[in-house]
Structure 1
Amino acid sequence: LKQSWKEAAERTFRKPNIEPPVFDLLAQYMYTGKIEMTMDILAPVVDAAMELQLTQLVSACENYSCQEVGMKSVFEMLALADRHGLKKLWTAATSFFCIYAEKLLDTDDWQGLDRDVLTKVLSLDSIIAKELSVWSTVVRYAHHQNGYDHIDCPLLRFPKWPGRLLVKVDLDETDRGDASSTSDDNNDSHDDRSDHEDENGHRKTNDTADPKDMIVSLSRKQFLDLQDVIEHMLPAVRFTSLPIVDFVRCIDGTGLVPASLSRQVYWRNLLPPDSRSDLAPPRFHYSSILPCCQWPQVQVWLMNALSLKPSFSNSNSRIELQRIYLASKDGFSTEHFHKHCDNQGPTLTVARTSTGYFFGGYNEASWFSDGQYHSGDTNFLFQYNPQTHLLLQATLRWHKQYASGSMLVTGPTFGVYDLRISGDGRDSVMSKSDNVPAYDINQFGPPMKFTVTDYEVFKIWLCP
């Protein structure tokens, strides 16, 4: 028991922060070893179990919560995991958040998160969301924290280009007096700053407006309140990843970001691409082929496949992808494919055709150059049809001994003829073999012969 506990004369432990119904559940657990858990009582039970040092119950609750992370519970799970250092739950909740970030940021469920927790979550590399959505969430959170309207927020009414969002700060009488009685010392210190910066190094907000600009008026108190919250959350936004037009149109004229950061954004856009390695990378920059909006579903399929493996399901691991081969960059031949991809363990292949289709597959085994077929249990294929906008999956159902083919004269091969990328990409095929079908690709439509314009292969890592 904790040393800080105090006992009354009748030897009763007093824990006023544990509600009686919650303690009844804990007493039930201590007497029977069982507890009937639901999501609505999960957080208070974990809080109390941590207080009482019931480590086995905490572990059981964490395992339960990892299975229950969803759209309605993910922010509560993030807060719970951060509050008690639950690493397994944090991994599960952040993985879910990253996949569905764009939808989740469009809700108001993040309101209850602590500022530092929300900043940590928004800073994750694997978030699949537009950077402008991350900035919008920071602005809405700053409004909410200060009791201002965060739903109909004027700072998020972005004008069409070439218009800019500009903030005009209305000075009160004290501010006007201070502004009109500046000393020589103040004037001297101003010489060290740009004419477009205020005393705190932020871009001035009363720049000359254009008729196409949208001007938002804020009192000085409102502006400083918002600036105080946003300043602590700036590391979560990758401003250098924003299109420069969006930065100028939606952010720079608000005065809510330091002028030094604005200069970095402008400087970044002046540099050639190969000179930007020291800047923060864009989020979820894995694929140069598959559209970003299609990655969430592919990741779900990938996580489901990996969860069937004991080495993944019984650990706190998370998935990371590392691109090891890009045909257009590394060479469009079978020799180059095998050079980069053989003996790499589980991989994900993504390809684009000349007709606009995207397809790919997960191979749980390594690629080889031995001319043999290799078995698998969790392999799958997927296809995106640009006409129907449907992303479909084909699972491995029959003849699993032919899950993947490691032929020296071809690129990635799934099944006997289910999917094969040729050496130069021109004679690639997706068709079901009548004799030895492996993948259920009937839903993909009739057999296809196509030209692959580019494809990439990712090595799959399980990271702690």
Structure 2
Amino acid sequence: MNQMWSQSDSNSDVKIVAGSEPNIKEFSAHSSVLRSRSLYFQRALSERWKDKKHDIYIITKPNIHPNIFMLILDYIYTRKTILPESAEDSLSILIASDELELLDLIECSQKHLIKKFSSWLLSNLVMSLNVVCRHNHFHELYDHVLKFTFRNLYSLFNSSDLPLLDEVAMICLLESDELELEEIEIWNYLIKWSISKFLDDDITNWSDESVSRWSDEHFVALKETISRCIPLIRYYHIPKNYINKQIKRYKLNSNAFIKTKTPPRRRSRLMTNENKAIISSWIDKKDNDYYTCMTDPYKFKLLLRGSRDGFDVNTFHRLCDFQGPTIVIIKTVQGDLVGGYNSVNWDSFRKNIYKSQYDFNRSNVFTGDDEEILKDIFLIPYYTLKKESYFRTTLNSFIFSFTDQSNPVLSRVKAERKNVAIRNDEQRGPSFGTDLCMENSTRWTSYWGTYEHEITKSNHLIAEEFEPKYL
């Protein structure tokens, strides 16, 4: 049976002072209960902590508000899950639970925050990032916040809260392959963040020209702020002359820059952020009022890259089948940049059962007295299982061309051809009707007919690069 906590219990042997001026409160508790519930208290309640004169353990927790500590103490004694009615209290309980190593409470607090206060977390993105990047045990909340962040990078880096972003959070972002921005953009945002940390002026009004008015103290402050982040920029993917200008402009140490070849982030080699926003608009049928990079609601995740994973049909089906709606984009040696959106799953085949019957009359194997008996036996039907390619019906898929970046082409499914919009075939890769089909390895064909507009004049295409992505 759970022991009930009572502030007035005379048998308590622990005094905990929670909070700081002007909100301080003392709590009485039992060392045996605290040790049994918390790894932290197992270490903290040792003999060397004990006040020998009064035979009482004394612990101070100035960073935990008394109201939060009272809720946690109730949880320790009753094991009842705490579900605060405010996002701030829920986040405070999570942070305090991490400090006190209450692993069960960490897990349920994360779930509670995600389920009930997700919109608050995302509206306070900088605070949320700072919390999840400072603590090692918030895996579920970390994934939730980071997933949203990577889908809304422009909102983060153009936020007025950017100066409040901790260094540990910035490092966390820079270390990730999911930071889907041009590397030169990442560098510029890093500079903006660094300057925002020590300039009192509104960073939104800052410009390159203001650097000419800097004192030596400004350059020293920038160097100190940015020093741990510089090695995380992948300079191999930024023009050398641009970096040299940045080093000179901001009086940085060139030796801090790692200029050796580094792998790119999981950013599309074929799709710009502007193109992605246009495709997102087409998905939502916003054919006129397009999304911008700031308002784009989708994040496309790379499933495979031909130059990295292979161009063969089997690799495509292994990595891309049953991933839900996907974008496919192809750069060809002919100079085309074309692709398509599949609003349903890719698949290799479907299995069909066929009923068959032995044709006794065509067989000369059996003769004599056994003929009638054998005939009865072989008239019994049997069934075979066959794998077949098949079409998916949809009006939501489309194909497109960005060959002329100033004049992108959108081609939606013809209404009368919706039954053959998407073909699934284990012998072929992605097939959008007859209009864009991966026949084998790098070989593609394009015969206009299933979709409204022609996206290329070439019937036979050779892929130089190939990237399927899922939403």
CA distance in 2 between partners of 1:373 and 1:420 (Å): 17
Pairing 1:4–2:44 present: yes
CA distance in 2 between partners of 1:228 and 1:14 (Å): 34
Pairing 1:80–2:80 present: no
Whether the aligned pair in 2 keeps the contact of 1:343 and 1:368 (CA below 8 Å) is no
* SS at structure 2 position matched to 1:18: coil
Report the number of matched residues.
349
- Amino acid across the alignment from 1:258: N
Provide the residue aligned with 2:431 in structure 1. Answer: 413
Shift of 1:226: 1.9
Q: 1:291 to 1:106 in 2, by over 3 A?
A: same
Shift of 1:127: 1.0
Q: CA RMSD, aligned part only?
A: 5.0
Q: 1:223 to 1:31 in 2, by over 3 A?
A: same
- Amino acid across the alignment from 2:89: I
Equivalent of 2:269 in 256, 280, 288: 288
Q: 1:228 to 1:411 in 2, by over 3 A?
A: closer
Give the 5 Å matches for 1:9-158: 15-26=61-72, 30=78, 32-66=80-114, 68=118, 71-85=122-136, 86-149=138-201, 151=203, 156-157=207-208
Whether the aligned pair in 1 keeps the contact of 2:330 and 2:339 (CA below 8 Å) is yes
Provide the residue aligned with 1:257 in structure 2. Answer: 252
TM-score (norm 2): 0.57
Shift of 1:358: 4.0
Whether the aligned pair in 2 keeps the contact of 1:240 and 1:279 (CA below 8 Å) is yes
Give the 5 Å matches for 1:168-183: none
Q: Which runs of no fewer than 5 residues in structure 2 stay unpaired? A: 1-37, 284-299, 351-385
- 1:310-352 per-residue CA deviation (whole Å, 9 max, x = no partner) reads xxxxxxxx966331469xx98xxxxx74365354453653246
Whether the aligned pair in 2 keeps the contact of 1:131 and 1:242 (CA below 8 Å) is yes
CA distance in 1 between partners of 2:156 and 2:199 (Å): 21
Whether the aligned pair in 2 keeps the contact of 1:98 and 1:126 (CA below 8 Å) is yes
Q: 1:220 to 1:460 in 2, by over 3 A?
A: closer
Shift of 1:102: 2.9
TM-score (norm 1): 0.58
- Report which of the two structures shows the higher radius of gyration computed on alpha carbons: 2
Which moved further from structure 2: 84-93 or 291-300?
Answer: 291-300
Q: 1:35 to 1:299 in 2, by over 3 A?
A: farther
- Amino acid across the alignment from 2:247: D
Shift of 1:129: 2.2
CA distance in 1 between partners of 2:393 and 2:103 (Å): 36
* SS at structure 2 position matched to 1:75: helix
Provide the residue aligned with 1:240 in structure 2. Answer: 236
- 1:11-47 per-residue CA deviation (whole Å, 9 max, x = no partner) reads 8975443223324544665574351454333321211
Whether the aligned pair in 1 keeps the contact of 2:401 and 2:409 (CA below 8 Å) is yes
Provide the residue aligned with 1:372 in structure 2. Answer: 388
* SS at structure 1 position matched to 2:133: helix
* SS at structure 1 position matched to 2:91: helix
- 1:198-227 per-residue CA deviation (whole Å, 9 max, x = no partner) reads xxxxxxxxxxxxxxxx97143322322221
- Amino acid across the alignment from 2:431: T
Equivalent of 2:316 in 332, 341, 353: 341
Q: Which runs of no fewer than 5 residues in structure 1 stay unpaired? A: 159-213, 266-277, 303-317, 331-335, 433-445
Q: 1:256 to 1:342 in 2, by over 3 A?
A: same
Provide the residue aligned with 1:308 in structure 2. Answer: none
- 1:222-245 per-residue CA deviation (whole Å, 9 max, x = no partner) reads 322221222222123223322345
CA distance in 2 between partners of 1:377 and 1:393 (Å): 13
CA distance in 2 between partners of 1:144 and 1:96 (Å): 23
Whether the aligned pair in 2 keeps the contact of 1:82 and 1:90 (CA below 8 Å) is yes
CA distance in 2 between partners of 1:392 and 1:110 (Å): 40
Q: 1:344 to 1:363 in 2, by over 3 A?
A: farther
Shift of 1:94: 2.4
Q: 1:90 to 1:26 in 2, by over 3 A?
A: same
Percent of aligned pairs with the same residue?
A: 15
Q: 1:131 to 1:341 in 2, by over 3 A?
A: closer
Shift of 1:298: 7.7
CA distance in 2 between partners of 1:382 and 1:36 (Å): 46
Provide the residue aligned with 1:431 in structure 2. Answer: 450
